[in-house]
Structure 1
């Protein structure tokens, strides 16, 4: 639920001088992966739930004070590796993919790669990212050393581990004065955040937890509801284009329409829809009477619950049609950016399929990174055809101020590399290789209408508006950007 909960992806890989079967056996051993983590001080397996573990990590709070956190992790063994899903406190969730791939031209060598996507409360995200990058790099190096030196021992049958040895890396005693000074400095640094952002956010989270069984995945359904007594007929999840309407679904569809027009979408196109949420943009492409029908639609979204809901909705829609020439629909669950750990991905360079139109509706500012997504998409575009995105960037004046830049980065609403000015956005696309790059700033038809709509939804949404308005006040601009692949 941007901007309160953010997503970030961290990836790493190492080339191991071991056969692929040895590396695969190791990464498919959950206990081995758990104990490689330098932060882990204990774990327990649950016999009734195969591959379900409760894990304890030791961390530093404010850089000084020891604390132990507990979380659960479920492992799913795959043919070429293992997937895991972690549930931690304050709504933090992590999804990891480990893969072992033999290097074809170097017998006896294997590339082991890991990709972890984290979803967390935005104030926690900087600390989580720092911890992930540091610990997972050390984890990879430890794995390489143990496997290459033959020190890996299968851990079958082990159900529990408690260790105090690792706690020595965090000394338990500190002089009183340095600790007090550090605490005072930290409190001063976070005072503005606590007063202006944290308290409204916590109030909003509490309200959402009381009104929805799944506040992070399906909160947008209530926004699509028009009448008090009728369930929502649409499931849009974007900020909308509000020029001629005050109705949320109409504004969202208007923004989707502007995006398809900017992309030069035509009848019979092979379309890639990235970040489609619970599938309303897919339904729009497949059934809106005001646009032509595509030959095929491919979609990818990062939340598994959204992927499953989209699949069910598309199947129901296709089943209701009697035409034998219904478009072919292929949906993927995964990150927008292709990485080697992906089992199947529409932007995989090894797959020959290309697309006539690529759409990213109100999601590209989340990508890690946008530059990587644009580069991969260019290779998948048919020559002469276009990609179109609705996106957030910043006015040149906003980014000319060092103080503004620091505040924007501190908010951590998007990866730092995605924070660019409007002219730099166009320049980067041209440097990647796009031609005929066009940008339309529609901020005045998006932010005021969206915030005005939310202001009528009650006090909790007013709190959300306060957060969004701070971001807009820092110079955020909502734009439609498109570019073509050279003929």
Structure 2
């Protein structure tokens, strides 16, 4: 019960925040990591790439990170900028499995940055990583620094995303690639504020109006930033329903029940109770991987 009250207090504080950047930072401080990652092996924060037989958000989260790396065309010796990197699990996976040369990261949430830095030190990767506190719309790097810029389920927060596109174009080398895994509406005429279910409340409270457009609008903004040949591909069939099934089942998982307070379990079960509404609203949302090239 105490943790639920603390969470409610953080929700109220977040919703009362006027500054959009501070609001997003506080959004990612609402849930205690001890609850968010209870009975889990990783700290992936994305919705995941779900194939038949996958039941673990840890497996699905890493699979989505690898889908993004493949879309961006990661090669050994690439220098990568990961914008909005969360706790950085994907960055360590890319260093391990894609053997990229170096990953830099920008994030507005201090505890995310500190966690990633500490992990890099523990794993002897401090020289191949550079995790910084900063904004996606004013990147603290020189022009032409990176081979790839990526944003794994974070760009929908950026205020506005078009400013991030312009900054990504600036810091990429000629021939470089921007790739995002992102959340947008299937139809740009869908009213963002009409989303009412608890699990999808982030749509109302942490996506700016400027970022609420469909695939065609997304491609237009990439072109407007100077990118060539943008491709915005829906992968919604591999994301939303697998995530919904995992989260719906989580309160009944004995390992989760053993790891958190009973009030947390009850609160999560209540949040996911209205499955018909959740399914209906998921049906209004797209999930895309977008790729664009700097000439």
Is TM > 0.5 for Structure 1 vs Structure 2? yes
Equivalent residue, structure 1, for 2:287: 478
Partners of 2:10 and 2:214 in 1: how far apart?
Answer: 32
Count matched residues: 258
- Deviation, structure 1 residue 422: 1.4
Matches within 5 A, 1:138-177: none
- Deviation, structure 1 residue 272: 0.5
Stretches of 4+ aligned residues off by more than 6 angstroms: none
In structure 1, the residue corresponding to 2:165 is in which secondary structure? helix
Find out whether 1:221 has 2:221 as its counterpart. Answer: no
Partners of 1:255 and 1:315 in 2: how far apart?
Answer: 25
Equivalent residue, structure 2, for 1:433: 226
Task: State which drifts further: 434-443 or 406-415.
Answer: 406-415
Q: 1:354 to 1:218 in 2, by over 3 A?
A: farther
Q: Deviations over 1:279-318 (max 9, x none)?
A: 2112112223xx2x12221011111111111101111111
Partners of 2:203 and 2:219 in 1: how far apart?
Answer: 25
- TM-score between both structures, scaled by the size of structure 2: 0.78
- TM-score between both structures, scaled by the size of structure 1: 0.49
In structure 2, the residue corresponding to 1:241 is in which secondary structure? coil
Q: Deviations over 1:15-41 (max 9, x none)?
A: xxxxxxxxxxxxxxxxxxxxxxxxxxx
- RCO comparison, higher one (Cα < 8 Å, 6+): 2
- Deviation, structure 1 residue 411: 2.5
Find out whether 1:312 has 2:118 as its counterpart. Answer: yes
Find out whether 1:238 has 2:46 as its counterpart. Answer: yes
In structure 1, the residue corresponding to 2:85 is in which secondary structure? coil
Partners of 2:147 and 2:31 in 1: how far apart?
Answer: 36
Equivalent residue, structure 1, for 2:140: 348
Cα contact 1:272–1:357 (8 A) shared by 2: yes
In structure 2, the residue corresponding to 1:236 is in which secondary structure? coil
Partners of 1:356 and 1:282 in 2: how far apart?
Answer: 15
Equivalent residue, structure 1, for 2:57: 248
Cα contact 2:82–2:103 (8 A) shared by 1: yes
Partners of 1:330 and 1:383 in 2: how far apart?
Answer: 22
Q: 1:428 to 1:481 in 2, by over 3 A?
A: same
Cα contact 2:235–2:288 (8 A) shared by 1: yes
- Greater strand share, 1 or 2? 1
Cα contact 2:144–2:174 (8 A) shared by 1: no
Q: 1:364 to 1:464 in 2, by over 3 A?
A: farther
Partners of 2:178 and 2:34 in 1: how far apart?
Answer: 28
Equivalent residue, structure 1, for 2:3: none
Q: 1:446 to 1:464 in 2, by over 3 A?
A: farther
Looking at CA atoms only, which structure, 1 or 2, has the larger radius of gyration?
Answer: 1
Equivalent residue, structure 1, for 2:211: 418
Matches within 5 A, 1:84-99: 90-91=9-10
Equivalent residue, structure 2, for 1:337: 137
Structure 2 runs not aligned, ≥5 long: 1-7, 23-28, 196-201, 252-265
Partners of 1:413 and 1:261 in 2: how far apart?
Answer: 28
Give the CA RMSD over aligned residues.
Answer: 2.9
Q: Deviations over 1:399-431 (max 9, x none)?
A: 335xx3552599334111110111111111112
In structure 2, the residue corresponding to 1:383 is in which secondary structure? strand
